[in-house]
Chains A and B, each alone.
Chain A
Amino acid sequence: MEKTEDKNQQQEEEQVVNPWEVSAKDGGKIDYDKLIDKFGCQRLDQSFVDRVQRLTSRPPHVFLRRGVFFAHRDFNDILDAYERGDKFYLYTGRGPSSEALHLGHLIPFMFTKYLQDAFKVPLVIQLTDDEKCMWKNLSVEESQRLARENAKDIIACGFDISKTFIFSDFDYVGGAFYKNMVKVAKCVTYNKVVGIFGFTGEDHIGKVSFPPVQAVPSFPSSFPHLFSGKDDLRCLIPCAIDQDPYFRMTRDVAPRIGYHKPALIESLFFPALQGENGKMSASDPNSAIYVTDSAKDIKYKVNKHAFTGGQDSIEKHRQYGANLEVDIPIKYLNFFLEDDVELEHIKKEYGAGRMLTGEVKKRLAEVLTELVERHRRARAAVTEEMVDAFMAVRPLPNMFD
């Protein structure tokens, strides 16, 4: 069949991955190999994981070991520089579109906390309240309020306040940050941004001019109170792979304005409870595990709504084993069960049919409950004053210690 459509238009047969939409081909699974090819980033192979272990003298994070963070751009440059004694800083963010966070939202933050601890580097966290105000048509006040509420859950992930700066766009854009935004904006034509993000003539100008806001935290000069005099400092951005377009644009612009290209380390998408083909949606509370769920809720959701690869009957299951490819409990355990040996054992037994779905689900409920409990206790310790302190424009003298 001839390809008659323009390359920029999304064809029905292809998967769609951009900051505002993620859908697989024909309702199937996301093809990550194709995505890496299309985006032009690199696979994160075992040699990287080993190198990280060597450089940080501690076991690599479970997300690295299990290939959750699976792609990168220039991560090797970051590691080379680190080995020479040149540090870097981390940059990640959240678009505060809803109050309720689910486990999928926590993944980049859990990994970023590990990176902060392991490499002993500072971190900036951007809350794009302006973006949500524009895209989700929230009021300014509501998006600011959500940003603050989300900040509490982010802080609960365990970031070190002496090395972390959280900011909301509505509060912080201006000054040096804005100067960099203009520098970036001057380097990206309207056509280019339409090509990258798919804007149309009907989209309002707020959307079209937003990308520089997410680009410039990659440049240390955007934070004069933190990095003044350190224009050479590199930046590493842990994020989910759908954010890649913003940073492709940023990497394109960076050398033209005299900055290092930011490096990226990218993760898979976290599957919905109903399966890879399902969509995690804020309006369906059963599609995800929320950080406010009780142990009872978690048990219920896992038992009733998790899509499994188990067979229809026990006899069939014992004979054929479970289909690990589509089994959600196994996928979730892959993300959250720390013990490699135990996970292997479960996969082997379940795949062979010797372990039943019920057992796997039970173990998953335990693991998730422990995680959510720990998060909730940490969250309860976050006060308004603590949020203010994290978000204050202040120096961080010990940020590399």
Chain B
Amino acid sequence: MGYSKDQLLARLKELQIEFSQYEHPVVLTVEAQAKYVGNMGGVLSKNLFLKDKKHRYYVVSALADTKVDLKVLSQRLGLGKGGLRMAPEEALGEILQVPLGCVTPFAVVNESARHVSLLLDQGFKSQKCCIFHPLSNDMSIFLNAQGLDKFLKSVGRNPSYIDLEANPPVGKDQPPDLAAFVPSDSPVLSDLPEKAPPSQDSTGKSIGAATNSAAVTAKAVKPSGNAQNVKEKPVDSVRPSIPAADAGKFVEELLDRASALLLSEISEDSIKQHGGQLGDEVANNIKKCLREDLKNLATIFKNTAYTEGFYAGTRYQPKRL
């Protein structure tokens, strides 16, 4: 399922990335790794797999000597003071698909790591040769930052390097400088043993999920009270009451609103007031009150349907002639 070491090495060769490799017994720590490859001219890396309170994951890859302070990093990401923890062991297997002791930036080649944010130490850029595990702890590979970049770009990642030791102030007037590194559409893998389907992820599964869960969830959205929620992806339970591209749901919503308004218009008083003309009166009122609302609902429906079609179109495989 996950990429194997051999597949990775083959890929590196395909991309014509310069690297060398060295096999050694399985190592679980940087110290152990140093015993085998520490004197070969490259610089060792230390790699942390972290998780925040909202179940978003991060790989921090740094020079072994760089001091990484999780509290500072957490603040710089905008997660508050204690927002970052080491990710649990299960996550290593589930998300990065590497064994224990083998966290490496190369793990982002896996689809399951799609939403893992990658933070790279700018210290790598000035080194001739950096050492990483190629998805397995029984080997180390040596390459420079350009090689790493080339690989990352080939899997659709935009490598950016940061000063991991910096400690800029974070406050009202100084927004967290690494906020851009917080994944904005992470799948909902809250409790790993129970795999919830991703709520929104760019492989398009969200489109199926949207139409299904619209049927599952009940009425109105719980109003989110603060600006933070705008950035978070809604968890499954917070689905809009407006159905997404589901014609049946859409029509139900329209009929619900129309009948609610109709019922409110017909009362003893209004019957007395309008008598036989009540029908006309109510019809006009309904049109007047609902016109804009229903048009808005229809536009949302149209946009959603178009998006589904567009998405399918971009992944369409033309007929073979």
Contacts and interface: CB of A to CB of B under 8 A. Distances in A.
B306 interface: yes
Interface stretch (B49-57, B69-77, B148-156, B178-186): B178-186
Contacts, number: 108
Interface in B275-321: 293, 295-296, 299-300, 302-304, 306-308, 310-311, 314
A36 interface: no
B230 A141 contact: no
Contact of A145 (B180, B223, B314): B180
Contacts of A381: 240, 242, 244, 300, 303-304
B24 to A, nearest CB: 37
Contacts of B227: 99-100, 290, 292
Given A158-B296, A383-B210, A149 B223 contact: no
A158 B231 CA distance: 20
A380 B234 contact: yes
Interface stretch (A43-51, A208-216, A347-355, A385-393): A385-393
B173 interface: yes
Interface string B210-237: 1000000000010111110111001000
Contacts of B244: 381
B169 interface: no
Contacts of B200: 383-384
Contacts of B239: 380
A141 B299 CA distance: 31
28 contacts: A100-B227, A100-B230, A142-B179, A145-B179, A158-B295, A283-B172, A283-B173, A290-B227, A292-B224, A292-B226, A294-B224, A373-B223, A374-B296, A377-B241, A378-B300, A380-B238, A380-B239, A381-B240, A381-B244, A381-B304, A383-B210, A384-B200, A385-B206, A386-B307, A388-B202, A388-B311, A389-B306, A389-B311
B299 A295 contact: no
B207 interface: yes
A41 interface: no
B171 to A, nearest CB: 11
Contacts of B314: 392
A139 B314 CA distance: 30
A385 B207 CA distance: 9
Interface string A144-171: 0100010011010011111000000000
Contacts of B226: 292
B204 interface: yes
Interface string A169-189: 000000000000000000000
